[in-house]
Amino acid sequence: MRLKVRASKSTYFVGERAEVEIEFINLMEKTLCFPVPAQDCEDSDTGDLLTFTSFVETEERDWFHCHRDGGGIPRDKVLSEIQEHWIKLAPNAVYTTAPYAAYGTLDKSGQWELIAHYHPPEGAFDRDYRDHLQSAAAKAGCTLPTADVFSPTVTVTAISPSEKK
């Protein structure tokens, strides 16, 4: 799977947060399926998709974010959840998230990089949970992503209001 960051604009004002959409691109020959990932917090139940900002000149990165641990979907409901609510991404297909704000405020004038990170669901308190998810996904005719994915970086610019032309 590949991720691609799409910023809503190339230039922001200092103090804004970059708004992004993320494309998931299935590079496999099988259909991928996964729950809609949390975009506001690390989440072991649903997996997560977090987008971070980094100031290019100093490589300062705002990595502070929240973390939720959970036991996952009850085992007797996993198959129906996959069939009814999960994203199904056919080979070579693209899924695009709704717009959301990247972590970190663009608090200085200059170039900023945006990078997205997807972490698949795993369940925090059950060693076999991911295997159970994968088995249920196979019954539903798809496969669960198993590896973390990082997008290539995208560069945006932050300017002070006085720099507006």
- Check which CATH number belongs to the domain holding 33 and give it: 2.60.40.10
Which residue has 């910023």 as its token pair?
7
| pLDDT tens digits along 13-32 | 999 999 999 999 999 999 99
Evaluate the CA torsion angle 58, 12, 63, 123 in order and state its sign.
negative
Summarised one tens digit per residue, pLDDT across range 113-157 is: 999 999 998 766 556 788 888 999 999 999 999 899 999 999 999
| Domain assignment of residue 33, given as a range | 2-163
Which amino acid is located at 121 in the chain? P
* Rounded-to-integer distance, Cα 53 and Cα 104, Å: 6
CA distance 131 to 110: 45
Between strands 66-68 and 41-43, the pairing is parallel
Could you give the number of structural domains in the chain? 1
